[in-house]
A and B are shown apart, each in its own frame.
Chain A
């Protein structure tokens, strides 16, 4: 069994308190993860500037090269972790075993992380709109061909992140920080320490300075809260309560439920069967766990037929062993969570005008000895006022909502991703101007098909750097 210490500016710290990471279905311990308290993190943050200075020893180009190497190592190498090492397959197996995510999905998420590491130059070129990274590194400079001084002030020497246990794909969001020469302070999820530790290991093996990285596993309420209060720029992944808690806090970028949606315009809705596969995939990919999965499909008509058709596709899905390449459902590994979610859904279904189109495919809640599953659900809401129209759950669950097109933008609420399938220019223009839609797709683009060259829930460059004035004039120093 692996013994995984905390990492304090690159140095392992073996805590006296450890939590076992266990296999979700067998209960077999996979690793012992050191647990540290918030006080340790707070004290370590006195030295956060050293993490940035360690990265500033390299040029941005050198760091990008090392990140590309790290991406390859992350994907292919046997890398150290704690008192042992891990092959890519062992990593996939461990991640699946502790999170309940099928192994082929873990491999898919690995590809995403590696892609971002290996394509960082393009991603940053896009997010910075082509800015020379040396200007961010030095803090100021002139762009070639323009005699205008630019200055960007880094807002923190490190980026912190309180990471989730349920979605290994989100790690792509904090990776650019290293390329921007900010250290990383991570609180790994209790059930998914694997990705942050493997990325840390790959980066160090690739030649990046270990002292730029800290990983503090521990209780969210303690070390997570300490991280968010003592780092000047941090991300947190959590539920709606977390989002609400940190809303408006300029130091914290909260990531949570996406409430992503597909809108079918009146001009295309009669041809809905043409978009059935797109809708199914948007709901079903990655076991419906991501914020980029569609939780709502909105149309002015044919909604019952759409619900019926999606239900026919995903309703019969069976639970399969996570090592099976055909497995498409992830287990709920946290005790009591699936029954609690099911309780909320039952309450949603009790409302008049709400119909469960997957009811005929058998019990949705499947409780096992050590984990539970929720099988895919398609629910029809006859109008947007139904409670279920604004719900998102962490499994393939979608509400198909009947709503006149002219009311859609007003009624859909916050949507991380909105795919509007329409050629109606007026509708598209109104969607562009809507302030509660983050990523907007106009046309038949699945919600989970994310273009890495586009910002996600805000541009990380704008989160980490602030544009400011910088003027300089020569100073004459008397000869000594």
Chain B
């Protein structure tokens, strides 16, 4: 269990607990800021060595190569590009597993999950992995962005894990034992008014379970899930926690620039990100109040609150020198033109992930 509150603290008084949590938070924040940062040169070295091939820039799509097993043409673009033989084989295996399941019994572990919806949700995630949606007004975007990795790399492993945890109430994924608390067992399947997440109980289970298992300093004051916690700091994901989840869940190496409060001092951000994308998967940790303006107020607290997967970035030929970025978030890919200043303004963290051998 990756908790940051040791068990012996449970016997301490409220003041001691508060002090301890405050201190832990400060230490984690400091650790976050002083995390070793890679240079542009090191990224270029990775690029030239050819060890890792970025799959997000690929043009081919995994399901498109699978003959009749693929999804309808219109939704094919919601599938991930194929990067290697292993992930394509894993996807085929996942589709084979799904084809053998025609019916799921209800699970005593998850009293509010409707089996038919659960199965439909799993099917949707395997066929259209980019359509995974964190729900409106929740703090699940970090977990949703992270899910990009297992749904690409090992969809069959992810599917087996989801079926196992549904059946047994606990299961292991990539060597991590997940034993969700009783509150999570009860809550999965009950989240409503979150858009399409309302009818996706498997995603609810997955997000709640990740938030319950991985804890960071932002979650210190909300240790347990309560009704509505998905919208609060209970579900928040700081940059350090995000990287930890990527490393542990996806088996990736991460190189991170940036922090939770201060923008990274990368002089040529465009060049850095372009290089990063050539050698692996790139997540951006961004200030959502700039990216998706929600009010016209002039005084705003600018902090990063949103994760997105950058799938393409390029300079336009025009005289205005704009960038065209393509990224995944909120259940789909978006393309927009932005200036370099805007990119610098929104970017608080660049997470570069490369697969470990």
Question: Are A and B bound to each other?
Answer: no
B contacts, CB < 8 Å to A: none
A contacts, CB < 8 Å to B: none
